Amino acid sequence: MKRKTLRCLTALLTVFLLVSSLIFPGAAEEEKTQYPCKSLVLMEASTGKVLLSQNEDEALPPASVTKVMTLLLVMEAIDSGRISLSEQVTVSANAASMGGSQVFLKEGETMTVEELLKSVVIASANDAAVALAEYLAGSVPAFVEQMNKRAEILGMEHTHFENPTGLDDTAVDHKTSALDIAIMSRELISHKKILDYSSIWMDSIRDGAFGLTNTNRLVRYYPGCTGLKTGSTAKAGFCVSATAEKNGMELICVVMGAESRDERNAIAKEVLDYGYANYGLYQKEAASLVPIPVTGGMEDFCNLSHGDFSIVLPKGELSSVKETLELPDFLAAPIKSGDTVGRLRFSLDENELGSIPVTASQTVGKLTFFEIFKRLFARSLLI
């Protein structure tokens, strides 16, 4: 009788758990937040670590967020010295014919690279984007080829560009993923000058005659927002690659396929808030170390140093990181500047988080016979 009762209770418990899992999915396992957009990624910029994602590899139309790659190629050309901000660009008929967001360029009009750059970053101007593409590569097809080559180098595995603007009317299979957008956004903001433009709320071109207002409202309404690029078309929905910096940590939030501008901005704000509330950046800045003794060298000691180290961690773990310096008791000459002589390791609860090399900051030559004789002779004079 007891066994029969036990079997009945077990069966009832099983049925209860099954029904509960159907009615309350979170009762069986932790429920994952599903944001009202097609995909998203939250990435920490200095390390590239993804902190939150949803369908991050799905290839989707990116609308004007495409211009992150266009801007990257422009900034690389500027920083390498191929072009300068003050150079004059003559607008072609093709560039002037672009629809959508624009600054109404006229065929034959001249404008500086900087004015065109501001027009793309702030106002998402398609005509300015095409003018820059033609100026850099000679034609739009040649520029698009450069875009796809750069995407391949960056490891953007779910990306295929067909134009520098993201406009639907000239695209058949123009797609990228939230993760790939985060990757190219991270590369773009490594050119810090771009943030001087993307963080502007209002500006002007043509000697103040034409006003520019940032399409990214987060720049004005989200504390710490530094950019970066919005986009919206019928195919893509509402997209954004939003960058922000607070408490020494820079985040990139990519949202694709939201249903409205306000919803896109609300998602980005919520995701950025999540990142700053839950994560922090553990940083070890480059520094010099106490010199280490040297045997058989022209110098008795060798100066040491290490580079930077950073890692993103849950905020509660930041104070528990342990640093361990691994060095020999002494070094034997000869030593070349830059030689790795040890390591600085970082761990948390016996788990290694990473390490950086400790290197010689100077060259120490091997002690020669002549130098030994000279030193012995000098000592004999002191006796």
Indicate which CATH number applies to the domain containing 242.
3.40.710.10
pLDDT band at 85 (very low <50, low <70, confident <90, very high): very high
Report the chain's C-alpha Rg in angstroms.
Answer: 29
* pLDDT at residue 120 in the model: 98
Same structural domain for residues 320 and 237?
no
Whether residue 102 is contained in a domain is answered as yes
Q: Are residues 274 and 304 located together in one domain of the fold?
A: no
Pair (270, 299) in one structural domain: no
pLDDT value for 51: 98
Domain-located, residue 24: no
Mean per-residue pLDDT, 320-349: 96
Whether residue 208 is found in the same domain as residue 303: no
* pLDDT tens string 147-166: 999 999 999 999 999 999 99
Number of independent structural domains in the chain = 2
* Domain boundary pick from 226, 257, 280: 280
Residue 2 has pLDDT above 70, yes or no: no
Rounded to 10°, the helix 140-153/67-79 angle is: 90
Determine the structural domain holding residue 311 and report its residue range. 285-369
In a domain, 6, yes or no: no
Residue where a domain stops, chosen among 264, 280, 296? 280
Q: Are residues 271 and 365 in the same domain?
A: no
The CATH number that applies at residue 328 is 2.60.410.10
Looking at the structure, tell me whether residues 245 and 293 fall in a common domain: no
Same-domain check for residues 274 and 292: no
- Which residues neighbour 24 within 8 Å (Cβ) at sequence distance 6 or greater? none
Residue 171, pLDDT score: 75
Q: Is residue 226 part of a domain?
A: yes
Statement: residue 188 has pLDDT above 90 = yes
What would the mean pLDDT of 366-378 be, rounded to a whole number?
71
82 within some domain: yes
Note the pLDDT of residue 32.
55
Check pLDDT > 80 for residue 28: no
Contact 148, 71 (CB under 8 A): no
Q: What does the pLDDT read at residue 213?
A: 97
Q: Write down the pLDDT at residue 365.
A: 93
- Alpha-carbon distance 143 to 69, whole Å? 11
Domain check: are 276 and 295 in the same one? no
Per-position b or e across 41-62, b if 16+ CB within 10 A of its CB: bbbbbbeeebbbbbbbebbbbb
- 280, 298, 314 - which closes a domain: 280
- Whether 18 is in a domain gets the answer no
If asked whether residues 296 and 261 sit together in one domain, one would say no
Average pLDDT value for residue range 233-243 = 97
Same domain, 48 and 197: yes
Could you read off the pLDDT of 87-141 as tens digits, one per residue?
Answer: 999 999 999 999 999 999 999 999 999 999 999 999 999 999 999 999 999 999 9
The answer to the question of residue 29 being in a domain is no
Active site residues: 64, 67, 124
CA dihedral 358, 364, 369, 372 (to 10 degrees): -90
Tell me, yes or no, whether 125 and 202 share the same domain: yes
What distances in angstroms separate CA 336 from CA 109, 327, 331, one per listed residue? 57, 16, 11
Model pLDDT, residue 383? 63
Do both 141 and 59 map to the same domain?
A: yes
Give me the chain's average pLDDT, please: 91
Residue 315 lies in a domain: yes
